[in-house]
Structure formats: structure tokens, C-alpha cells
Structure 1
Amino acid sequence: MSFQKPSSKLNGVQKNSKGPKAVVLFSGGLDSTTCLYKAIKDGYSPTALSFDYNQKHKEELKSAKKIAKLLGIPHLIQKLQPDFFKGSSLTEKKIRVPKNSLGHTKIPNTYVPGRNILFLSFGVSLAEGISAERLYIGVNALDYSGYPDCRPEFIKAYAEAIRLGTKMGAEGNPLEICTPLQYLDKKEIVLLGSSLGVPFSLTHSCYDPIQGKPCGKCDSCLLRKKGFQEAGIPEK
């Protein structure tokens, strides 16, 4: 199976450039890519929105560019000021990414303060500006690292805030925050991605890659491996 050339149909996902618009927050990782393909499957014409927020590595952004090019969809990368996010091992070189710590009970240092709040705000602004109906985000409340900005109650509260604080909401047509992975474990996400034809080999999930290759020991690598093993699908 080749993923080299975009086409109007990709493994059961039918592109629809004339369908209703959606914005997809898109990192280039397994979850956000599955979310992007789900938006297309749902009949939406997506604009992918990625962020360069001074993360230690740019492997996910490289993946995001490849996948967006493959799909032939608009892809915006919002660059934030260097050193904007503090206190996270994903952005500060002096803080080490934890390894082999899956199952911890405390919020890990891979949490980036307020990241989803900020990313969603950019997504809302873009979505309202282009008259999109939906904003997709790949948050998950099951196989995740305990991040508070991934919880269903946060998404519900945020959706209410933008209903009150946007023109679309004031006019009775609020933007829908769509979280198709919210209650799926990693196995179910892998199975969904497989059914949609997600090019897993192009996605990148590792928090702390070594020369561009996954470390295999961070939470994200371990969760990804667990998901593929439980789904009975070879990890790519």
C-alpha cells in the first residue's frame, strides 16, 4: 500500500473539499492523526492547525507536514514565542522526560501548563473566521497521563465558554467541540485509525526521541506500544 501521492479516496476515507468546514488541532501524533481522518470520514473539509511552541524536538511537526501534504489539505503552523511555556519536560532542556513511569498517579512533568486552553483558543478563532462548524481535538480520558486539560468536564466547560464568548454562539449557532477519542482506550484508537486508513508509519508519538527515533520508554511510547499490541496490529 502506498502513501506517496494524495488521492480523492484514502483507504475508505473520502475527501470532501466541498463539505462543511472543520478545524482539527493536529500534532502529527497517533491520536490527532486519527482525529483528522475521523473528521474527513464525518464528511468535513478540514483545515489542520499545528503549533510550534518551542518543544524540544520537531519530529511531530515533520509528521504533521507529511500527513497534511498526503491528504492535500490546508495546514497552518502557529509559531509561539520561544520560552513561552515553562515548567514542562517537553519544553525545558533542564527537565528530564520521565521514563518507564507508566501508571503514575501524579500529573507528570510532561504536562505543559494551559497548552490545550491556548491551542483551543487559536482553533476557535480560526474556526469562527472561516465559518467552520466543528473543532476537532484528540483529547482522551482513559489511556492518558492525567492531564487536567484532557478531561471531559474541561471540554464541556470550554464549549460553554465559547458559546457565550463568540459571535457564532451569540447568534445561536455555536461551534461544536468534537472529541471522538474522548472515551476510547489506546487499543480502540488504534483500531479506529486502522479502519480509517491512518498511515501509522507517518505518525510520531515519542516525547523524547533519539536522533529522530522513538525512545521506547516514555509514557507516550509505552501507551502507543500497548495499544498496538492489544489491537493485534503490528506497530509501524
Structure 2
Amino acid sequence: MKDKAVVVYSGGMDSFTVLHKVIKDGYEPFALTFDYGQRHNKEIEYAARVCEELEIEHKVIDITAMNQLIANSSLTGQGDIPEGHYAEENMKSTVVPNRNMILLSLATGYAVTVGASKVFYGAHSGDHAIYPDCRPEFVEKMNEVTKIANYDPIEIVSPYLNQSKIEILTDGLTMGLDYGKSWTCYNGRENACGKCGSCVERLEAFSLNNATDPLTYE
């Protein structure tokens, strides 16, 4: 019998790679997607299609009520989506306060329920400058908590924590993944904008891997 693992799966290219890595490493995945009031649902739709195709357990959880308490992020409609690279100061507007702590806490409870010992999520080194809840010290402290918060210890795993998006894509391409099945753009229009931080970083990763992004851009 395979070991079970919960995967926080947004539908973006990082979590898309993590999900397939979990499968490749022999785990039985339980994919968990959160609707926290994002500007659009395209990532959620992409996530659902992938899980249906892979025939794996997938739950989409509505936690939009948290926006009554947590706001001020451009990702949830507060202001314009910034353009440019993640290293730039204006990208801080995309921070959703305490998001990963909330998502990982819920995922940990789900892991205990289904009998999984690990929760995977796609934090990587490119996120460290802007997102405090993607930094190694955050993962370390979350692990300390999730191992004692329940009778069953749960490990938080970020397989690409110290690697860049470029290296994530390299790994995914080695696995033969079709990144046309992932959505990264912060804007939910028909085609990806190519200008928001998420698009810029994605396109840079493809360029440095000498590969072509299968998504269509405006």
C-alpha cells in the first residue's frame, strides 16, 4: 500500500510540478485546492482538470469568508495587479496575510483525517524575497508545530524550497510534464498577460531552460 500525501495544489506551475513529483516518488496524492477569493478561478479550473485526468482525489475548499478578516492584497482585488519581477518592491502588494499558515493548517487537518503523514506545497527560493511564508525558517517552524499539534505528527514538505523556479521547471521538463495544463497568470483573462510578476518569472524560467511555454500570451 502506498503512503498517502496531501498536496496543496493551486493549479499553478509550481504546485503542478510538486503534484507530479509526489506521484513519481510513489505516494498516493490527495490534492487540496483553496478558493480564498482570488481575482479569478482559472487556476482552480486547471487544477480540477488535471486531477480528473489523473483520477486522483481532489477537493476544492471555499474559504472566501476569510476575506472578512484578511484583505489589502492585490490578489484578492485590492488595487491593481503589479507588473515586473518578484524581486521588485511593488510585488509586496500580492502578499495575502498569513495565507500559507492558514492553508497548511487546514491541509494538516485533512492529512490527519485521511491518514497521510506529509503535506506538500510549492514554496521555492524565488519567493523568499517577497513572501515570508515561503521562507525556510517558516517551513521549519511550521514543521515543529504540525508534528505536535495532533496525535499523528505531520511533516510539511517543500521539495523545491531551496531551488529556483528555473530549477523547478527543469525538473518538470525532465519528467515530461505538459505545462499547458497549468495556469500562472494573476489575471484571469482568456490568455496569460505576460506582464505580471508570475508571468514574468514563468517566462524567464522557460527561456533559461531553452524551452517554449505552451500557454498563449496576450
Q: Hey, what does 2:6 align to over in structure 1?
A: 23
Q: Hey, what does 2:19 align to over in structure 1?
A: 36
Q: Hey, what does 1:152 align to over in structure 2?
A: 136
Query: 2: CA distance between counterparts of 1:106 and 1:157?
Result: 27
Higher helix share: 2
2:71 is equivalent to residue 86 of structure 1: yes
Q: Hey, what does 1:100 align to over in structure 2?
A: 84
Query: 1: CA distance between counterparts of 2:17 and 2:129?
Result: 19
TM alignment of 1:42-61, pairs within 5 A: 42-61=25-44
Query: 1: CA distance between counterparts of 2:19 and 2:99?
Result: 19
Q: Hey, what does 1:167 align to over in structure 2?
A: 151
TM-score (norm 1): 0.85
TM-score (norm 2): 0.92
Q: Hey, what does 2:96 align to over in structure 1?
A: 112
Contact 1:107–1:147 (CA<8 Å) still a contact in 2?
A: no
Q: Hey, what does 1:230 align to over in structure 2?
A: 208
* CA RMSD, Structure 1 to Structure 2 (Å): 1.5
Structure 1 runs (4+) deviating above 6 angstroms are: none
Contact 1:141–1:151 (CA<8 Å) still a contact in 2?
A: yes
Query: 2: CA distance between counterparts of 1:107 and 1:161?
Result: 29
Contact 1:145–1:219 (CA<8 Å) still a contact in 2?
A: no
Gaps of 5+ in 1: 1-17, 169-173
Cα offsets for 1:75-115 (capped at 9, x unmatched): 001101343431100112x4111112543146611111111
Q: Hey, what does 1:178 align to over in structure 2?
A: 157
Contact 2:6–2:29 (CA<8 Å) still a contact in 1?
A: yes
Gaps of 5+ in 2: none
Identity of aligned residues (%): 35
Q: Hey, what does 1:72 align to over in structure 2?
A: 55
Shift of 1:69: 0.9
Q: 1:152 to 1:113 in 2, by over 3 A?
A: same
Q: Which entry has the higher C-alpha Rg, 1 or 2?
A: 1
Contact 1:108–1:145 (CA<8 Å) still a contact in 2?
A: no
Residue type of the partner of 2:56? I
> Matched residue of 1:142: which SS?
helix
Contact 1:27–1:60 (CA<8 Å) still a contact in 2?
A: yes
2:186 is equivalent to residue 207 of structure 1: yes
